[in-house]
Amino acid sequence: MSIWFRISEALSALTAGEGLSAVFDRLRSPPERSVAFTIAVIALGAKMAKADGLVTRDEVTAFREVFQIAEADQQGAAKVFNLARQDVTGFEDYAARIARMFQDQPDMLRDLIEGLFHIAMADGTYHPNEDAFLTRVAEIFAMDGGDFACLRARFVPDTSPLPHTVLGIAPNATTKEARAAWRELVRKNHPDALVARGLPEEAIAMAQKRMIDINRAWETWSGKKAR
């Protein structure tokens, strides 16, 4: 069953006048968390897309890249996007509800922030309002500052993706420490591990880029140490 069919079912359960925040309150059980994750990224992405005052074709396309949305499912995704744009609920309320939903799965919240970075950079520009938006969402998610800096370094062109930042190690870490950190990141971000913790299969393309960045960071770091 397509995740978009399950999302359509979740949306059809809304009564007149209810917003997407009501969906977050209902999708608490683990089997439906992949649905909640997808709705959360699209909903917060829609709010963020308005942060710079302009919703571009590139930002809309980014949703399709993150979730590999099939042609037949695009209408369902657009419905979530439009509901979020029209909902009077503020993004902080959305973020707080999502944080409560995934409070026992901080990795899912990090995955969500990563999806938002992907969308923010879809038009090639990182607007100050988008930075403020993502910083505030990360705060609500109680995300580690180092993890947020790592994501920003990977996505934003004006920051240098230092290999130790991506690997989450100290600049003076030993080769043994760096290798251990790299192997742990590879293990945690294997597609099977992501699906197991609730990331929808449609979002695995996002994780593939992450693996490229992780491996590139290790190659850069180990290469420098070998000199």
End-to-end CA distance of the chain: 52
* Tokens of residue 11, six digits: 């949306």
d(CA 108, CA 105): 6
The pLDDT, as a whole number, for residue 56 is: 55
The Cα-based distances of 81 to 40, 65, 169, 217 in angstroms read 10, 15, 37, 34
The pLDDT, as a whole number, for residue 132 is: 92
Name the DSSP letter for residue 83.
Answer: H
The pLDDT, as a whole number, for residue 133 is: 92
- For residue 219, give every residue at least 6 positions away whose Cβ sits within 8 Å of its Cβ, in sequence order, or none: none
The pLDDT, as a whole number, for residue 188 is: 83
d(CA 41, CA 141): 13
Residues of the chain with pLDDT under 70: 1-4, 13-19, 21, 24-33, 51-73, 76, 87-88, 157-161, 198, 200-205, 224-227
The pLDDT, as a whole number, for residue 200 is: 67
State if pTM tops 0.85: no
The pLDDT, as a whole number, for residue 44 is: 85
The pLDDT, as a whole number, for residue 141 is: 94
